[in-house]
Amino acid sequence: MVVHREESEESLNQLFRALADGTRRDILARSITETPSVSELAAHYEMSFAAVQKHVAVLERAGLVRKRAKGREQLVSADRVRLRRASALLDFYESVWRRRVAQLDDVLLPKED
């Protein structure tokens, strides 16, 4: 149950660093709906291929995208499994918070009986 504890602080920092950049958020968005190659991605930005490659590497280290080789191309895809897991858990936490807020409302406004 506590297997991943030791990496949580650093992975949090990595995640926020990765998402703090507009180009990287854009790369992530593009790699959710399709699986672009690094050179296809590079065509969208006014920066060198190497710079785009570095952005992809930051996203990869944060666990947000995966890269796989296809011939001489590097294809980039968002880690959908991770995003799906995150999304399902956030749904769960939403229900926890909705319940808490309903209970807080009862504390703030005691019902007459």
Partner 1 sequence: MPVTSVTKDPEALTLTLVADFPVPQRRLWEAWADPRQLERFWGPPSAPATFTHHDFRVGGRAEYFLTLPGGEKWSGAWKFTAVSPIDSFAADDGEANAEDGDMPMSMSFAFEATPTGSRMVSVTRFSSVEAMEETTPGMEAGLRAAMPQLDEVLAG
Q: Residue numbers of the site for partner 1 (CB under 8 A)?
A: 1-9, 11-12, 15-16, 19, 28, 63-64, 82-109
| Closest distance to partner 1 from the beta carbon of 66 (Å) | 14
**Rounded to the nearest whole angstrom, what is the least distance from the CB of residue 42 to partner 1 in the complex?**
22
| Sign of the torsion angle spanned by Cα atoms 68, 55, 65, 37 | negative
Task: Work out how close the CB of 4 gets to partner 1 at its nearest, in angstroms, rounded to a whole number.
Answer: 4
Shorter beta-carbon distance to partner 1: residue 43 or 99? 99
Residue whose CB is less far from partner 1, 6 or 46: 6
Torsion angle of the four alpha carbons 82, 88, 93, 95, in this order, in degrees rounded to the nearest 10: 170
In three-state secondary structure terms, 29 is helix
The nearer residue to partner 1, 72 or 95, going by C-beta atoms, is 95
Beta-strand pair 73-78/65-70: antiparallel
How far apart are the C-alpha atoms of 49 and 45, rounded to whole Å? 9
